[in-house]
Amino acid sequence: MKWNWGKSIVVVMAAFMCFILYFVYLMTTTESFSHDLVTEDYYAKEMLYQNEIDAETNTNNLKEKFVSKRTDNGWLLVFPKELELSKIKGKVFLYRPSNETLDFNLELNLTSSHLLIPDNKMLDGRWNITIDFMYEGTPYLYKEQITY
């Protein structure tokens, strides 16, 4: 039996296909590779998306904008001065795309227009901050992606 270029090409292609199939099998069966959706109840949240758009529009229509910056003590959020602090009811949600266990909520109990998220709660990396609150019966929503 002669060995020629045609047989060599077929063997190399078959070996490559086996190699690719092995990695597909490995990626689909290994527990350490999570293939979940980014958030739970994705489809239910999608149905409420228009409410989010309206709340973000309300936030964008404020005269002053939110100020967000890193400080030595953590991440500082400054609320617009036109909002009366005692009428703000809501929460701040910090979402870490790379690790679901680092996500956390903070209730809004403001005594000043500054809200400091402590340094010990945040690891370096990307975070999504969502401030969802009601002010005099009107919903407001502020979203920002930060790198801490």
The DSSP string of 7-29 is HHHHHHHHHHHHHHHHHHHHHHH
Give dist(CA 83, CA 64) in Å, integer. Answer: 9
* pLDDT surpasses 90 at 49: no
Q: Write the CA distances from 81 to 66, 91, 113, 131, 135, integer angstroms.
A: 9, 18, 7, 16, 13
| Prediction pTM value | 0.65
User: What is the dotted CATH code of the domain comprising 42-147?
Assistant: 2.60.40.10
Query: Is residue 9's pLDDT more than 80?
Result: yes
Is the predicted pLDDT of residue 38 greater than 80, yes or no? no
The residue to which tokens 């502020």 are assigned? 142
Structure tokens at 78: 């400054």
Residue 46 scores a pLDDT above 80? no
- At 34, the pLDDT band (50, 70, 90 cuts) reads low
Name the average pLDDT for the chain.
86
